[in-house]
Amino acid sequence: MAISFYDLSVASFRQTVSAVAGFLDRAAKHCAETHADPDDFVDARLFEDMAPFHFQIEALAHHSVWGLEAVRSGVFGPPALVGPIPFVELQAMIAEAVTALEAFTPEEVNSWAGKDLDLQIGPRRLRFTSETFILSFSLPNFHFHAVTAYDILRMRGVPIGKRDYEGQLRIRQD
């Protein structure tokens, strides 16, 4: 059976966004158990020249939901840093992304396959199809930000592992 555009995009985003929601919950629980402040994660970075934790969460939400909206509309804008926001608002942002992803239907998303989408980044104009935009731009950026957020939490002592990052695997139903 061929894989659908919906499965390549929405189902892939949902798996990881749901996993991120889970490891954010684990971080909040860890903070409650250790009497730490989860807002201490908000500005944490792996390296000084990397974007902070809050941007990682903002960007992965953006690349999932707004990546799909870009395919629908033909226009994509990079996420803007909105500044540090409280940890609970980052959790809410991810919950909203899950809800938004659940609202997309397979019929709707599959109808966007093959559409053209041009992306302007500074002086560069990148010409994509719906599929190449999701597979070669949006998903790699999305996963970069998701794993960076995961790594920041791990670096700060949150007890999460690979299975937390994987989320609910889409296994074969025999």
Instruction: Give the burial class of 74: count Cβ atoms within 10 A of its Cβ; 0-12 exposed, 13-18 middle, 19 or more buried.
Output: middle
Does a structural domain hold residue 5?
A: no
Q: Are 5 and 113 in contact (CB under 8 A)?
A: yes
Domain count, the chain: 1
Q: Give the pLDDT score at 79.
A: 66
Separation between Cα atoms, residue 39 and residue 107, nearest integer Å: 40
Q: Give the pLDDT score at 118.
A: 86
Nearest to residue 13, comparing CAs of 80, 109, 88? Answer: 109
Does a structural domain hold residue 46?
A: yes
Q: Give the pLDDT score at 81.
A: 66
Does a structural domain hold residue 83?
A: yes
pLDDT beneath 50, residues of the chain:
none
pLDDT digits (tens, 9 = 90+) for 13-23: 999 999 999 99
Q: Give the pLDDT score at 35.
A: 97
Q: Give the pLDDT score at 128.
A: 93
Separation between Cα atoms, residue 39 and residue 93, nearest integer Å: 15
Nearest to residue 14, comparing CAs of 55, 79, 59, 64? Answer: 64
Does a structural domain hold residue 171?
A: no
Does a structural domain hold residue 11?
A: no
Residue 22: φ, ψ to 5°: -65, -45
CATH code for position 24? 1.20.120.450
Residue at 12: amino acid letter: S
pLDDT digits (tens, 9 = 90+) for 79-105: 666 778 999 999 999 999 999 999 999
Separation between Cα atoms, residue 6 and residue 11, nearest integer Å: 7
Within the chain, residue ranges assigned H as helices are 5-6, 12-34, 53-61, 67-73, 87-103, 106-110, 130-133, 139-155, 162-166
Does a structural domain hold residue 116?
A: yes
Tell me the pTM: 0.91
Which structural domain range is residue 138 located in? 17-166
Q: Give the pLDDT score at 44.
A: 95
Does a structural domain hold residue 6?
A: no
Does a structural domain hold residue 9?
A: no
